[in-house]
């Protein structure tokens, strides 16, 4: 009996020590860490104690696999997953709460729930050299059952996500809604086990820095968007990252009710992207402007640049009426090496506005572009290049397949006002019957030092429609 009493006193002292310290080990709050037991309450209790006592570190210790349902991050908490530790999502949808806001895309309520949630929180971090595993395999989660996102942060400020390996979400890895002051550094995302596996989705966020990270995703690796008219996305920097994706490396837009501006992307590599490297799309009435993309290397990336200016509803809160078309302008692409020698003939840079709604002021400079070739005379003479009208879109997004093979193997530009192309070389591996560049309703264009298969292209060589 005396031994039991002594053990009890030691346990209480241990918990009290944790309560007064700046480190809160989840094991001291009752977590088993055996990869089977659901430790949600223990982890949440540690988070609550940490925040209540002024902040500190909630520790997921090395060698433990801690299984949780939805947890809520609070002010001044650093959730530290040690090297060799795994924070794993429960395989049961019932363990994911329904008070974690919602997915902002229409027709996708199956992604409303999430594993890690924060709302109106300030100064928190998720870090460590361990792993966050969403356990999002199709045997656990489907559209019918529900596919929770791994993380969602809403109206939060001063957030750090560092050095973690993040894998296997049932849907997106993360949605950042209307947050300010975000640092993402040194993370590794692997999101391939289920559908729509976006990496980082910043919606109405400001002062965002993403660096030194790698992405391997089943959908867009990084998205920048704005679902609220009153809340822009701006002041965003992405640098020193590597991308591999089943869809786009970076997607800017679609959700674009608010403005999106002041974005820089530099020193990144894109490999084996199945859709587009840089996919930039304005369609919900906002304004998109002031972006630079520099020092990029792409290998096997169809449509290294794909830009559209159109009309379509993407937001779950879209009004009944269709959005107006506002403005899309001021983009610089400088310093790109693109090798699509192993891709098919649909590998051109494709930039298109709409009739009477131009994209304005674009620069393409210092680009080395290799394509496979193989375009036919029929492709070259194709004159029905669909516009991204509401009829063409038929309720969905402005995707490349709706237009199909383009009449140019290098650059096809349409409905542009102010296009400068300089120091660009386009080479084909196989013969291609199409011209390297086609302008369709392009005003105030200028080319300088542009080459096709090492022969200079003059203004007179351009195909203009």
CA–CA separation, 105 and 102 (whole Å): 9
The enclosing H or E element of 215 equals strand 214-217
pLDDT-derived band at 16 (thresholds 50, 70, 90) equals very low
The enclosing H or E element of 391 equals helix 390-393
Q: What is the CATH number of domain 220-464?
A: 2.160.20.10
Q: Which residues of 107-144 are buried (b: 16+ CB within 10 A; e: fewer)?
A: ebebbbbbbbbbbebeebbbbbbbbbbbbbeeebbeee
Spatial CA neighbour of 451 closest among 437, 430, 433, 432: 437
Q: Kindly state the average pLDDT of the residues 399-418.
A: 97
Q: Kindly state the average pLDDT of the residues 113-134.
A: 98
pLDDT above 50: residue 428? yes
pLDDT-derived band at 21 (thresholds 50, 70, 90) equals low
Measured in whole angstroms, the distance separating CA 237 from the mean position of its chain's CA atoms is 13
Per DSSP, the chain holds a count of helices (H) and strands (E) of: 4, 34
Confidence at residue 13, expressed as pLDDT on a 0 to 100 scale? 42
CA–CA separation, 319 and 416 (whole Å): 29
Confidence at residue 465, expressed as pLDDT on a 0 to 100 scale? 82
Q: What's the angle, vertex CA 169, arms to CA 164 and CA 173, rounded to 5?
A: 60
Instruction: Yes or no: say if 113 and 149 are a contact pair by the CB < 8 Å rule.
Output: yes
DSSP symbol at 95: G
Q: Kindly state the average pLDDT of the residues 281-300.
A: 98
Q: Kindly state the average pLDDT of the residues 38-64.
A: 98
| Residue 184 neighbours by CB under 8 Å, 6+ apart | 160, 161, 162, 200, 208, 209, 210, 211, 213
Lowest mean pLDDT among 9-13, 144-148, 333-337, 423-427: 9-13
pLDDT tens-digit readout, 188-226:
999 999 999 999 999 999 999 999 999 999 999 999 999
Confidence at residue 7, expressed as pLDDT on a 0 to 100 scale? 43
pLDDT tens-digit readout, 346-382:
999 999 999 999 999 999 999 999 999 999 999 999 9
pLDDT above 60: residue 387? yes
Q: Kindly state the average pLDDT of the residues 113-127.
A: 98
Confidence at residue 43, expressed as pLDDT on a 0 to 100 scale? 98
Q: Kindly state the average pLDDT of the residues 268-282.
A: 97
CA–CA separation, 381 and 440 (whole Å): 13
pLDDT above 60: residue 54? yes
pLDDT above 90: residue 166? yes
Spatial CA neighbour of 278 closest among 258, 256, 308, 257: 308
Confidence at residue 17, expressed as pLDDT on a 0 to 100 scale? 45
The enclosing H or E element of 393 equals helix 390-393
Q: What ranges make up the beta strands (E) of 86-156?
A: 86-89, 114-119, 122-127, 131-133, 149-154
Instruction: Yes or no: say if 448 and 421 are a contact pair by the CB < 8 Å rule.
Output: yes
pLDDT-derived band at 450 (thresholds 50, 70, 90) equals very high
DSSP for 13-49, written as a single string: HHHHHHHHSSEEEGGGGT---EEEEE-HHHHHHHHHH
Q: Kindly state the average pLDDT of the residues 246-252.
A: 97
| pTM for this predicted structure | 0.94
Confidence at residue 167, expressed as pLDDT on a 0 to 100 scale? 98
Instruction: Yes or no: say if 206 and 177 are a contact pair by the CB < 8 Å rule.
Output: no
| Residue 401 neighbours by CB under 8 Å, 6+ apart | none
- In terms of Cβ atoms closer than 10 Å to its own Cβ (0-12, 13-18, 19+), residue 198 is buried
pLDDT tens-digit readout, 263-274:
999 999 999 999
Q: Which two tokens stand for residue 23?
A: 């480190």
Confidence at residue 3, expressed as pLDDT on a 0 to 100 scale? 52
pLDDT-derived band at 463 (thresholds 50, 70, 90) equals confident
pLDDT-derived band at 462 (thresholds 50, 70, 90) equals confident
pLDDT above 80: residue 113? yes
For 205, half-sphere exposure in the C-beta direction (CA atoms, 13 angstrom radius) is 32
The enclosing H or E element of 50 equals helix 40-52
DSSP symbol at 214: E
């Amino acid at each position: 009996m005396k031994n039991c009493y002594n053990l009890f006193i030691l346990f209480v002292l241990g918990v009290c020590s944790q309560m007064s310290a700046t480190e809160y080990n989840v094991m001291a709050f009752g977590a088993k860490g055996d990869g089977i037991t659901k430790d949600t309450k223990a982890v949440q209790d540690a988070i609550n104690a940490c925040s209540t006592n002024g902040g500190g570190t909630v520790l997921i210790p090395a060698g433990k696999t801690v299984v949780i349902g939805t947890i809520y991050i609070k002010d001044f908490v650093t959730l530290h997953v040690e090297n060799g530790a795994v924070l794993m999502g429960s395989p049961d949808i019932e363990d994911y709460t329904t008070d974690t806001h919602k997915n902002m895309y229409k027709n996708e309520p199956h992604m409303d729930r999430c594993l890690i949630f924060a709302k109106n929180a300030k100064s928190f971090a998720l870090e460590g050299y361990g792993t966050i595993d969403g356990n999002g395999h199709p045997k656990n989660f489907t559209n019918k059952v529900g596919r929770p996102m791994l993380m969602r942060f809403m109206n939060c400020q001063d957030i750090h996500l560092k050095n973690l390996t993040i894998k296997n979400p049932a849907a997106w890895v993360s949605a950042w809604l209307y947050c300010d002051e975000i640092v993402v550094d040194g993370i590794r995302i692997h999101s391939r086990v289920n559908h729509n596996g976006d990496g980082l989705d910043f919606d109405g966020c400001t002062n965002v820095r993403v660096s030194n990270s790698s992405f391997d995703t089943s959908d867009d690796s990084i998205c920048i968007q704005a679902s609220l008219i009153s809340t822009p996305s701006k002041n965003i920097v992405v640098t020193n990252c590597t991308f591999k994706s089943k869809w786009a490396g970076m997607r800017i837009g679609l959700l674009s009710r608010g403005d999106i501006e002041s974005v820089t992307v530099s020193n990144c590599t894109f490999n084996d992207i199945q859709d587009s490297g840089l996919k930039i799309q304005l369609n919900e009435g906002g304004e998109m402007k002031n972006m630079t993309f520099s020092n990029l290397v792409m290998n096997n990336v169809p449509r290294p640049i794909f830009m559209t200016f159109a009309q379509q509803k993407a937001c779950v809160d879209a009004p009944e009426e269709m959005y107006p078309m506002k403005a899309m302008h001021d983009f610089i692409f400088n310093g790109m090496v693109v090798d699509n020698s192993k891709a098919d003939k649909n590998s051109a840079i494709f930039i298109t506005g709409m009739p009477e709604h131009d994209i304005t002021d674009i620069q393409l400079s210092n680009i080395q572009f290799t394509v496979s070739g193989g375009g036919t005379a029929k492709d070259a003479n194709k004159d029905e290049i669909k516009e991204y009208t509401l009829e063409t879109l038929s309720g969905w997004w402005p995707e490349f397949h709706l237009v199909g093979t383009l009449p140019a193997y290098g650059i096809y530009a349409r409905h542009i006002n102010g296009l400068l192309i300089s120091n660009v070389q386009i080479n084909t591996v196989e013969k291609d019957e199409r011209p390297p560049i086609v302008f369709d309703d392009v005003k105030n264009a200028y080319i300088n030092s542009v080459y096709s298969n090492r022969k200079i292209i003059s203004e007179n060589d351009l195909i203009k429609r």
